[in-house]
Amino acid sequence: MSESTGGLAFFTNLRIANKIAAGFGLILLILAVSSVIAYLTFGQVAATVEEYSLLVGTSAYYRDIDLGVTRLRDHVREYYFSDNEDTANLAVKDVTELRQLVTTALSAA
């Protein structure tokens, strides 16, 4: 074998079987490190998906409340211009439903 004096002198003086074993060990180390990183990353993805599902559930409450306020405003405006008691009763019903929606949304938050 040659007499090397560089930083890789130890590696160049090894037998071929030891070089293959060292290379295989290095590949196994890289595989283990990348597997651990992937496992931890998938854990973060799972937590993010769970958080997203909570946000989507909460946005359904906001959507329903927004729709309820729009209906209430329309019925109040219609009652203001028509002076129809049936429309006023619809507005009162909308207020009751809206209060229930807000109470449900606050208890879920």
Give a yes or no: residue 14 inside a domain.
yes
How many domains does the structure of the chain reveal? 1
Q: Which domain holds residue 47?
A: 9-108
Residues 6+ apart with CB under 8 A from 22: 11, 14
Query: CA 19, CA 1: separation in Å to the nearest integer?
Result: 14
pLDDT at 4 exceeding the cut of 70: no
Q: How many CA atoms lie within 13 A of 54 on its CB side?
A: 8
Structural domain includes residue 3: no
What is the SS3 assignment for 26? Answer: helix
Q: For the whole model, what pTM was predicted?
A: 0.53
Q: What mean pLDDT, rounded, does the chain reach?
A: 88
Per-residue pLDDT at 69: 93
* Residue 52 within any structural domain of the chain: yes
| No. of helices (H) and no. of strands (E), the chain | 3, 0
What is the C-alpha to C-alpha distance for residues 75 and 81, in angstroms, rounded to an integer? 10
